[in-house]
Amino acid sequence: MSRFDRYLLSQLLALFGFFSLVLVAIYWVNRAVGLFDELIGDGQTALVFLEFSLLTLPNVIRLVLPISAFAATVYAVNRLMGDSELVVMQATGFSSFRLARPVLYFGLCVALMMAVLLHVLVPASRAMLAARSAELSENVTARYLSDGEFMHPTEGVTLYIARISERGELTDVFLADDRKPEARRTYTASRALLVRGDSGPKLIMFDGMVQDLGVKERLSVTRFADFTYDLGQMIDAGALPGRTIDELSTADLLRADPAMLTETREDRAAFLAEGHLRFAMPFLATAAALIGFSALLLGGFSRFGLWRQIGLAVLMLIGLQTVHTWASGQALRDMRAWPLVYLAPLVGLVLSGLLLWLSQRPRRLKREAAA
């Protein structure tokens, strides 16, 4: 790698880190506000909020990396053109394609980062996030239990707790289960504990009784020293959704086993589209960086900047995203259309090559006229 390549690559990577940090912070703050209200409103601690926030970061970073690569390239090239550094390099005989080599290296570095995120970090973080959400959904104390009021966790069930101690012990518990008219039961206990079981949370009651009102309106009373009531069947905590398509590995997506299709309730087209998108999207970031560089090379040195070229680059990036959205939609509808997910990166690379060719054409025409 030549000195010029190292210089431009260092400039691009430094600006890329800055723009990524700013964009991730903006996106994460907007997401964290809603997450904070949701978790704290459910009675969770600040540590749980921090854990959930960290688990959402890989997906946030994955979203902003292509934009950061484009912004870093445009900013760096605009500054180098304003300082006439690229103009000097062009005057020494460097072609536009030669000048684009460090930008290609930069785009491949960003593509490698995105590949690690899409294939490893994002699926792992989404799986951990789903597991923690499932655990919190079983935390009945935080979601349903509060002392001194009648609660209705589900239709036909009434729960009352006189007091909840700091150690989590429940005193003077009343539980009425009227979901089955032929077996209406009322549970009372002087104290109780809430524990987690394999099938969901369970309520262990001590020193109480069960009043059973049968079909013939005959009341039977049974006293107990301890009794376990399965709260999982009451709040349906065990009926948690299966894995989503974002949690699966790339190999599972490309394999598309029928069992996984049933678990995620997705079709084979969605699996193939998501699997191949994980290979295509890193190169979309490379194409975005090359488009930003090649579009700015169309303009020469100007004290007023390269605002027209920057506007052209932004419009081309929007068009590229439109192609990506359309191709992804087609791939989701037809499992035979998965090759379309590679269309946007391919179009971006072709456009950047065309712009690089056009950027050196005026100089070539001038040389031919002078000869």
Q: What is the dihedral of CA 339, 340, 342, 344, to 10 degrees?
A: 170
Residues near 323 by beta carbon (within 8 Å), at least 6 away in sequence = 343, 344, 347
> Residue 232 has what pLDDT?
64
> Residue 371 has what pLDDT?
46
Within this chain, do residues 126 and 261 fall inside the same structural domain, yes or no?
yes
Segments of the chain scoring below 50 in pLDDT: 236-240, 301, 364-371
> Residue 369 has what pLDDT?
44
DSSP string, 336-354: GGGGGGGHHHHHHHHHHHH
Within this chain, do residues 123 and 266 fall inside the same structural domain, yes or no?
yes
Q: How many helices (H) and strands (E) does the chain have?
A: 13, 6
Phi, psi of 249 (to 5 degrees): -75, 165
Within this chain, do residues 182 and 266 fall inside the same structural domain, yes or no?
no
> Residue 240 has what pLDDT?
46
**pLDDT, tens only, 80-115:** 887 777 777 777 877 888 888 999 999 999 999 999
Three-state SS letters, 251-269: HHHHHCCHHHHHHHCCCHH
**pLDDT, tens only, 142-176:** 555 667 888 777 777 888 888 888 777 888 888 88
**Model confidence, pTM:** 0.71
Give Dmax over CA atoms of the chain in angstroms.
Answer: 113
Domain C-terminal end among 235, 263, 285: 235
Domain C-terminal end among 235, 267, 298: 235
Burial of residue 67 (number of CB atoms within 10 Å: 0-12, 13-18, 19+): middle
Within this chain, do residues 157 and 283 fall inside the same structural domain, yes or no?
no
Within this chain, do residues 180 and 257 fall inside the same structural domain, yes or no?
no
Range of the domain at 224: 141-235
Domain C-terminal end among 208, 235, 262: 235
Within this chain, do residues 71 and 211 fall inside the same structural domain, yes or no?
no
> Residue 363 has what pLDDT?
53
292 neighbors 77 (Cβ within 8 angstroms): yes
Within this chain, do residues 195 and 125 fall inside the same structural domain, yes or no?
no
> Residue 92 has what pLDDT?
80
